[in-house]
Every structure is written in structure tokens, then in C-alpha cells.
Amino acid sequence: MAKAKQSTKDETRTIKIFDTTLRDGEQAPGNSMNIEEKLRFAKQLQKLNVDVIEAGFPIASEGDFEAVKKVAQSIKGPEIAGLCRSNLKDIDRAWEALKYAGEKGRIHTFIATSDIHMKYKLQMEPAQVLESAVKAVKRAAGYTPNVEFSCEDAVRTQLPFLAQVVEAVIAAGATTVNIPDTVGYTVPFEYFNIIKYLKDNVPNIEKAVISVHCHNDLGLSVANSIAAIQAGAGQVECTINGIGERAGNCSLEEFVMILRTRRDILPFVTGIATEQLTPASRLLTNITGIAVQPNKSVVGANAFAHEAGIHQHGMLMDKSTYEIMTPESVGLTASALVLGKHSGRHAFKKRLEELGHDLDDEMLNRAFERFKALADLKKEVFDEDLDAIVTDESREEDQYKLEHITVTCGSFAVATATVQMEINGKPVRTAELGDGPVDSAFKAIRKLTKTKAKLTQYNVGSITGGTDAQGEVTVRVEEGGHTVVGKGASTDIIVASAKAYIHALNRLHCKQKRLTDAV
């Protein structure tokens, strides 16, 4: 057997990281973000040093258009992409938002190329699809030389037709061609062969960067992305925490840390500031309210936890026995206790920045007041507590606001909740009975807000340890086919529950309003 060729520094190839958390990631149920939340996260992606930020789908709604526009205006460094279908109206609208990024603006247009999509979804012949693809790329290239074209459902596309489309769009002006596994169907060796086929059969393939966009329906998105770059792909499209449609996308943190950890056999590098991975993951969780599972690679709570005696013994002797990367390399710190009631504003601000939070002066002042109040209640204030404070203070202008809540209950008493809220600036108050303290509180809130939304999920967790820990509540509500997640935290679990429910109702209201405005 031939000996594997040892890679050299000169052979090391840089892989572009295209982050689509704000577009494909946001499309997952419960992950929707408003404009300010998108901008907050884009600023963290800037710190992470991703190459491209796909900020949204400009023609999808007025809110999405404004979000892409604001990101294009505000973010410096990464390229800013906007997705659009292969039609002229979509492309024109995308450039209206992206033009503020100048030469960093990227138009990303697509059309499906697989037989099943062409027949059932598009109801178009291959020749029509090819014509539409070329026409779209030419239109986009008229605005900017930074054009990406995607063959949707590429892995189920007939290879000769796929090669024909790729050659044609490159000739029309595409400088990046994306070969996505749209439905998470392929496996590594097959994906490797698809990319290799294009490298071998598209005459002008060297004039464009080959990009890959893998979904995780079979749990292979990261493995497939690795196979693709081994075959010659130069850009990987991924998301923080692997969020996205259905089972999600290739996880950015997993892909990047695989390359960093296995440099011995994978001669690839990225420009990612890996110390910003954990802050990015935590910020996304705080924005969406969707927690990362504890055993998640790289950023999960247990990723660097060791419980078994044998493992602990090994760690005490030498950390490399059971850790293939250091916690510090992904942005974790050894110290759990961050601040206390005697801490000042400067230290508070610095720690928030380390956690990935970029607050203006007004928001910082409100958060600092909340921190001081919490520090008086708790012996220790942890990073997770700070995340919860910032989440509360950075929310959009709410239609519904909680002012006071009082609950009486016990084993021989019917639970009664008295809730006072502010709705559209006006104070309202009511009391309701319920099967328990949370039920009675939610009934009172429903009565005041007149909501018809259905509560579909209610989860309670402790942010940190100890009897004085803040309780964190996550709820999911649904109305009219729209589902949102709400999150609340407090040392009083009933208050946390009320905050989470009201947060969800506010998000639902904003989502419905944006959809109405877009019509």
C-alpha cells in the first residue's frame, strides 16, 4: 500500500467560512430574530472573523430587507450576502439592501436543478432552468462582480446537467458556485466524488470558488463538508450551533475545530477566531431561547466536563489524556465566578464584552442596575446570570410589559395570581385562579393580553447551582401557524415564568406585525 503523502505548510489551503445563521439558521422553527437581534449577532460574527455573513432573504419581507440593509451598513470586515431566487425582481431587491456593503456585498441567487425539484416544484424543463440560472447571474453581475450561484438539491441532480449548469453560470459571471446537499441526503464518499466530478468535467471551474452547504438530516453535515474540501471545495456554509431547516446545518464550531485539531492529516486552515466560538454560541442561545444540548460538541455544557474516576485521574496527571482541545481555545475560561456586588461598572462592561455582548450606554446602565440588584440577592453571580440579564435588557420595545405579580398558593389553598401589566403604555390588572401558581399566572396574562396563542411547551431549568440560583424558563407558543420561543429568568421561578410567557407573546405580536406590514 502506498504511504500517505505528508502535507507541508506550502500545501495548506485556506477555507472560507460562510455563516448563514441569520438566514438558513433563522428559518428553523423558533429561531426567528428581529432586526436588532440580527445586528447584535452579526457583530459577534464580525468578532468571530467569518468570511461571509448571509444576513437574510431580502425579498421575503420588509423586516428581512431592513435587517440585511442594516447589517450591510454596520458590519465591517466580512462580506455580506443576501439570498434571492433566480428572478430579476428578487435580485434587484437584494442589491437594494446589499449595496451599502459596496464591494463586500454578495448577491447569492439559486434555482433547483434536481429532476424531482424541476418536475414537482418548479414544473420547468432542464433547458428552462439553465436559461433562468444564466439570466439571473448576468443580472446580478450587472450590480457586482461578487456573485454566488447555488444549484439547489445539487446532490440529487444528474451529474452531466449539474456540470452544464455550473459551467454556464461561471461563464455568466458567478465567482462562487454552491453545490448544496439541500436535504441532507448524501454521504461523504459520494459527496467527494460529486465535487471531484465537477473539478474534472467543468472546463472553467478554476474561475470560481466551489462552495458546499450541507444539511444534517442524516447527521453527516460536518463529515460531508470535510469530504468536500478534501475534493477541492474552497468555501463551507455553516451555522453557529448547527441550527437551520429541519435537523439543521453544518455546525461552524465543529467544522472549524476539526480542522484546527487534526492539522496532522487535514491541510486546511480558516481565519476564525476560535476563542469567540463559545461567546457566539451563548449569544445565539440567549437571542433565540433555544438551548444547546449538554453533549453538543465543542460548545455543549459537558464538552469539557469529566466525571468518571479514571478520566479525572488522567486529567489530573495531564489534560491531554482526555482533552483533544483546550477550553480556552474555544472561549471558555477556567473561572466560573465572574463578578460580585462590589464590582464596578468597568469590570462589568469588560466581562460582558468577553461574553460577546456589545451594549450601548443606555442598555449598559440598565443592565448594570439589574446586575447590582441580583448581586444583592445572590452570593455568586455567574456568566450565565449576566447572559440572562442582557437578554432581558436587549429586547425590542414590547407591547406587553410585566410590572408586578403576586401569587398565593399552598396544599390547602387554590392558587391565585394577581398580575399587573402595561399594555401599549396603559396599566392593567387582574386576578385569576388556577391549578397551580404558574397556571394561575398564565391565565391572568392571557386574560389581560386577550391572546389566543396556544402554549405548546414549558421548560424550567436552573441557570447556575445553589438554592439562590436564577431559574430560567423557556416557553413555546403557537398561533395561526406561527411558533415563537420566549425566555425569562429570575430568582423567583413564578416571575421567570411570567417573563418568559410575556416575552413569547411580544415576539409573536412582532412576527405577526412584520408579516402584516409585508403584505
Tell me the per-residue pLDDT of 47-82, one tens digit each, with 9 for 90 and over. 999 999 999 999 998 989 999 999 999 999 999 999
Q: Cell match 440585511: residue?
A: 68
CB burial readout 493-506, b (16+ within 10 A) else e: bbbbbbbbbbbbbb
CA 339 vs CA 47, 332, 335, 368, 390: distances in Å:
24, 16, 11, 11, 15
Task: Give SS3 for 167.
Answer: helix
pLDDT-derived band at 316 (thresholds 50, 70, 90) equals low
C-alpha cell at 130: 439553465
Residue 215 known to bind ligand: yes
pLDDT over 80 at 392, yes or no = no
Q: What is the pLDDT of residue 466?
A: 65
In tens, the pLDDT along 246-302 reads 999 999 999 999 999 999 999 999 999 999 999 999 999 888 888 888 889 998 877
pTM of the predicted model as reported, rounded to 2 decimal places = 0.79
Is 213 annotated as ligand-binding?
Answer: yes
d(CA 457, CA 115): 39
Is there a binding annotation on residue 311? no
482, β-bridge pairs:
479
pLDDT score, position 287 = 87
Contact 40, 53 (CB under 8 A): no
- pLDDT digit string (tens) for 413-448? 899 999 999 998 899 999 999 999 999 999 999 999
Question: Collapsing DSSP states into helix, strand and coil, what is residue 301?
Answer: coil
β partners of residue 460: 473
Beta bridge partners of 479: 482
Q: Is 385 known as a binding-site position?
A: no
Contact status, residue 208 vs residue 176, Cβ threshold 8 Å: yes
Q: Could you tell me whether strands 400-410 and 413-423 are parallel, antiparallel, or unpaired per DSSP bridges?
A: antiparallel
What's the mean per-residue pLDDT of the chain?
A: 88
Is the CB of residue 284 less than 8 Å from the CB of residue 254? no
pLDDT (tens digit per residue) in 340-360: 666 777 778 887 887 777 788
Q: What is the pLDDT of residue 337?
A: 39
Residue 178's closest CA among 197, 195, 164?
195
Answer yes or no: is pLDDT of 455 > 70: yes
CA atoms within 13 Å, Cβ hemisphere of 190: 12
